[in-house]
Structure 1
Amino acid sequence: MDVGNAGTVMRFLPPVACLADGPVHFDGDPRSYERPLHGVIDALKSLGARIDDDGRGTLPLTVHGAGALDGGPVSIDASSSSQFVSALLLSAPRFNQGVEVRHTGSALPSMPHIRMTVDMLRSVGAQVDEPESGGEPDVWRVSPSALLGRDLTVEPDLSNAQPFLAAALVTGGRVTVPDWPLRTTQPGDALREIFTAMGGACELTERGLTFTGTGSVHGIDVDLSEVGELTPGIAALAALADSPSTLRGVAHLRLHETDRLAALTKEINGLGGDVTETADGLRINPRPLHGGTFHTYDDHRMATAGAIIGLAVAGVEIENVATTAKTLPDFPDMWTGMLGEPSGAVGVSSGALGAPAARRGV
């Protein structure tokens, strides 16, 4: 299985592979070899799995599936990625003893993603005990059980809306994203609050989300530990703002598709910006920017960050914008189509953000 550089795939599927009847080999892009998998690999080994990774704790690796896994209690340090926890929980109902995952490290990043995992498991009948509903701190328990088939409404990926909402903020325009859920556990929903604080206004109705900008972007001091994937787009806006910004709580981004903190610092500064990397984030002092090449490092969110800056700065060229295909295959056409509108509101077509708002049988 070639996972490319997809963290979700490389972490969520090895536990599933333990339930297969035979070996499953995982490989990926060169950058995937640098991304940590030890939390999942070590946990599965302690739960009874046989995994060959030559002790690296990274790809490539082979899971020797035996058709079942004992499961039981396991302690992991998931401070580098909440995906370590979600990966074990998602397959746990099929483990003979279920699983008890105990996080032993420092603060967990991206907690909303674990909440999404728990909500999804419960929606199909799994019994989950977790800290936020009165359980033991930093401990998640999933009992072995059969899961129930049901129809699900797949929400659009709200984080994919970020560059389009940012476009309204930068240009003083208006963008409507249909099917934005009225209630959701997606961390991308934080865009409404963050972008409002940066100078826009939003209206959420049953039709979707309409966001309006003024053409003026304000700096922000914000903890992004729960919504780290939004950092590149927010950093791009901060470079165009009328006051300094501090983005905190995202040290774990150094282990994403690329070292996003280093990449954002280098690329924005390469256009004349003033970005300083801190221990857990970025400090951004707005300066007049000029054109140049914005490198993406094969990272889809770096590409969309460059596109945001290009709305306000002439001559910005995005190197390898095709990397956006990882999560938004139609991004270049959607972006140019939006900019081609003569005036007034620009709509993001229904279903364009990664999943149509339709009923799907599971």
Structure 2
Amino acid sequence: MGANDNAATTRAFVEESQSQERPELLRILTKEMIVNPAKQIELDDLITQEVRSALEILNDKGRHSSQVGSGTNEDQIRNLVKLANEDWEAVRPFCYSLAVAARWGTRDSLSPWVAGIKSIVSAAHKHHDGYEAINNIRHIAAVAVLAVAALACSAHSKWENFKILLADPSVPENYHVGSSIGVLDATGYWKPFDTSSLLPTIFMYAETTGDDPIEILRKYDDRKIGKLYTPIPDWLHSVMKPIFKWSEEEHTQNYHRSEIMLGVVGQDIAIQDALMNGHNLEYARSNWFGRCTWVLRHASKSPIEQMKSELLRDGSSWAPLQAGLFGGNMDRASKAIDSYNNDYHQLSRSRAF
């Protein structure tokens, strides 16, 4: 692969590869090409092609039609879990490449992944005719790409890349012509499924155990398993392990760190979006409350409080501020942390049993 100088041949090779091989292939090619300036155009074309392939699936109205919700209750559950899995598989190769780019890319080289993130989030966020519950499943893909970028950047303290990939991009707002909304405000952990239903829990168990969704439902009915507090963050924590290949302990620590940064930056973006669009700040809330709200609910010091301590200790030299997050403004960062912390503690207290 490294000796292949024909861009068209490389793209064809990736396009014709087996679906299970593409994620690792994209990772390898990204590692080889992102550090080589002579390969930037070829890599750009390769990522653009991959995003285009994913969007064909995400924008396929037939796949997200009312037929998914037809049949018996068991048929519907199987169909919805299958659809969510297909939407994840559509972006999985892009995610493997994104994990490399988020760590090793620079402002000058990250544009293909920024464009990909915006396109995938937009495909989920934009209005689609039909059943909302079915259309919203596209958010599985949107949440996955943002979570992968956040984990790669946070684990290696690549805060400038975090800003470029996650804080800066925006997509068109659906109901205010000419307005835009930050990608972290346009999607979130609770967007893919109705949070009151059992479906996200069934999806998480089906994806991580390989069990049939109906068998999982029966286990729930028999009280062998319970409804999960944070099924989508739990699923992400599991499916991202092969992408990063850390030890279990490293993976969990890095994942939780990325959740908190997603949450706080998401809070800042929600506040800025509300200010820009003239919305009530009372409703400017982050979409990113994950596993930390229950896994770390008994911690003597919450990860949000730890972040606030770092900000107070380092002041304007705090690394995320130096990278331009929160507009480089300490007061703005402090306000985002405090606002997020209030909601975080409410959720944690509700799970403290």
TM-score interval (norm. to shorter): under 0.3
Q: TM-score, normalised by structure 1?
A: 0.26
Q: TM-score, normalised by structure 2?
A: 0.27
